[in-house]
Copies of this chain bind each other. A is one copy, B any other.
Amino acid sequence: MRTSIATVCLSGTLEEKLQAAATAGFDGVEIFEQDLIVSPNSPEATAALAAELGLSLDLYQPFRDFEGVEEEQFAANLARAEAKFQLMKRMGMTTILLCSNVATATIDDDEVVVDQLRRLGDLAERYGIDVAYEALAWGRFVSEYDRAWDLVKAVDHPRIGTCLDSFHMLSRGTDLSRIAEIPGEKIFFLQLADAPALSMDVLSWSRHHRVFPGEGSWDLTDFLARVAGTGYSGPVSLEVFNDSFRQADTQRTAVDGLRSLRWLEANVSAAREGNASSAHTGRDRVRLDLQPLPQVAQPRGIDYVELNTDNLGALTRQIHQLGFRFVGFHRTKPHVQLWRRGQARIVVTEPTGPENALIETSDKSTVAFAVSTPDADSTASKTYLRGIGFAVADADAAMERALLLSTTEVPREQAHDEKVLRGVFAPDGSEVFFGDGNGEDPQWTDEFGTVPDDRQSAIDHINLAQPAHHYDEAVLFYTSMLALTALPSQDVPSPSGLVRSQVMSSADGAVRMPLNVSPDHSPNALSRDAGSPAATYPEHVAIACDDIFTAATTAVARGLKFLAVPQNYYEDLAARFDLAPELLDRLREHNILYDRDDEGEFLHFYTSTIGSVFFEMVERRTGYRGFGAPNAPVRLAAQHRRNTES
């Protein structure tokens, strides 16, 4: 499948855009007219640069407001088109995008439009140019793809074909079945964009909120499969207008874009394989060449979370207070230690290597805390979530797939006889590791020693902070690497602004990761790069247990600093739910929060924050599916108070 990207998707100058597209691995680009106009380089120089970079110039776009006009206006439009054809010839370009008339059309008459398109085709023939006519969703008279196709069919000119754009079709909810009527060779171009489900005017939606396939709410796999079914074999191109992408790093956005196409291609390839055995007729002989990827199933769970800390005393004390047991130090890396609570595992790493090694205690179930280390809530602490280990069916396949999707492998030291855990960097800078999950203790834990623990406990969810400009990238990352699904996003009020939150989840709930965009948009707010301050918006690890009151009692006995819950909250709880007074008293006594849905109940409490990490202990009763979202403002307000007081 030949991949392409419109220059309007990317930030920067035209030269920066071409460079980024080539580096990411695109085969070609669409040249957005404005990018060329504002460039100091001549069309010839631009074409030469593209050739040097190995990029084809697939489409010049767009030509607007051409058809359905009075004859005098039409003559001017033809002259304008000829100027553009001449320009394209200088660049060696052979396809132009013609958008259905938005502004100047006055005649809604098929005969007139067909005649004008045909005369444009004759002119295009002289320059060897193909015209791809596309119905804009807000076109004056032509706004549906099948109307555009009917017109193209009636024009019946070798230089006039149609362009399909998923945005203009899916945003209107148009019936897609007529795609199958179009012969692939009359589809002159294909543009893809996804979008979040929004209820707003389609023009604003299109101009500001498009995202790459896999980052929105539409089924682009089905869409591409339909177009592939016509025999279309041209470039598959991204045309995404997005306010954040326009501000983000050019190269990163290009990589994200290519990932979306490779992922989509593999999806369609897999679907085609699935259909291969069934009887297949029709036009699907000339087939789009589709590259598969190693298939991955959803993870079986979270093996571990890795926390990096320069405040080992405070962090391990808090883990201990939450009922975790010390398993041991890594046998060759004494600055790495493992803690567990049933199937919940936390790897704690110190940043500065072996010289920080602790003295191992004889009794591994407890650990001697360094008395001199500062307590929790030290804002100076560089404690942050460094990575997550996922239990997958086939770790090698997952890793191979991730690398084929243009991720960067995490460099790892290892001893010659150790199990190699391989992983890649996520968009937020955290590390994602793939382990072979077989339902028992993962093999790599042997390197820390053995502490049996059959308590019913596991990592319930991990709440990750995302930089605003790379939020959509993160959704695609977890979708394409781990086959997770994005649930609808929510806004959670906090004293410093709304927090946008969206849960990435596996179908069985074994993996749940709410992604949060902090209202703090400063570029350094969420940096996790080595050497730079960790995320300032705290992330957290939620531990599932089967008896929250016992967990809370243990935590109290061990001196845990709970995040305080206001009395007003419990008064409101009493007004909202018909709770037994004894239960209410117990909740209040243990700083436990409460929520309920149709399926069950949710009881949970929070710890104070160390560096940029805190913990939550949760008990889900009879199938509660949420994350206690109604209680999130309580937590955010309490954390805000701690921050502004400290």
Contact = CB atoms under 8 A, between A and B. Distances in A.
B247 A566 contact: no
A569 interface: yes
A497 B246 CA distance: 5
B36 A568 contact: yes
A12 interface: yes
Nearest to A46: B568
Nearest to A637: B38
Interface string A490-522: 010101111000000000000000000001011
Given A38-B638, A497-B246, A568 B523 contact: no
Kindly report how many copies of this chain are found in the complex they form together.
Answer: 2
A644 B19 CA distance: 16
A447 B251 CA distance: 56
For the residues of A in contact with B, the DSSP-based class is: helix
Interface string A629-642: 00001101110110
Given A198-B200, A566-B40, A574 B83 contact: yes
Contact of A200 (B79, B199, B571): B199
Interface string A20-54: 00000000000001101111111100000000000
B199 A246 contact: no
A283 B304 CA distance: 72
A633 B575 contact: no
Interface string A138-168: 0000000000000000000000000000000
Interface residues of A, number: 59
A34 to B, nearest CB: 6
Contacts of A564: 40
A76 interface: yes
A198 B203 CA distance: 11
B246 A87 contact: no
Contacts of A41: 566, 568
A76 B79 CA distance: 73
A568 B578 CA distance: 71
Interface in A548-579: 564, 566-569, 571-572, 574-576, 578
Nearest to A640: B13
A11 interface: yes
A638 B12 CA distance: 11
A80 interface: yes
A201 interface: yes
A44 to B, nearest CB: 11
A569 B34 contact: no
Interface string A66-99: 0000000000100110011001000000000000
Given A37-B572, A568-B38, A519 B637 contact: no
A352 interface: no
Contact of A247 (B37, B39, B497): B497
A636 B87 CA distance: 23
A347 B445 CA distance: 73
A595 interface: no
A350 to B, nearest CB: 32
A527 to B, nearest CB: 13
A83 B575 contact: yes
B38 A567 contact: no
B37 A569 contact: yes
Nearest to A525: B522
B246 A37 contact: no
Interface string A198-218: 111100100110000000000
B498 A39 contact: no
Contact of A39 (B34, B208, B497, B566): B566
A575 B80 CA distance: 5
Nearest to A245: B497
Contact of A641 (B13, B491, B578): B13
A36 B521 CA distance: 27
A637 B13 contact: yes
A641 B41 CA distance: 12
Given A199-B201, A578-B76, A243 B497 contact: yes
A36 B571 CA distance: 11
Contacts of A633: 34, 37-38
A38 B634 contact: yes
A244 B523 CA distance: 17
B568 A246 contact: no
A40 B641 contact: yes
Contact of A37 (B491, B568, B636): B568
A641 B633 CA distance: 44
CB-CB nearest 5 A-B residue pairs? A200-B200, A38-B637, A199-B201, A83-B575, A247-B497
21 contacts: A11-B496, A16-B495, A37-B572, A38-B568, A39-B568, A40-B638, A41-B566, A41-B568, A42-B567, A76-B578, A80-B576, A199-B200, A243-B497, A243-B498, A246-B497, A246-B498, A247-B496, A247-B519, A521-B521, A521-B522, A522-B523
Given A34-B633, A243-B497, 17 more contacts: A11-B496, A12-B495, A16-B495, A33-B572, A37-B569, A38-B633, A38-B634, A40-B638, A40-B641, A41-B568, A42-B567, A80-B576, A83-B575, A198-B204, A200-B200, A243-B498, A247-B496
Interface of A: 11-13, 16, 33-34, 36-43, 76, 79-80, 83-84, 87, 198-201, 204, 207-208, 243, 246-247, 491, 493, 495-498, 519, 521-523, 564, 566-569, 571-572, 574-576, 578, 633-634, 636-638, 640-641, 644
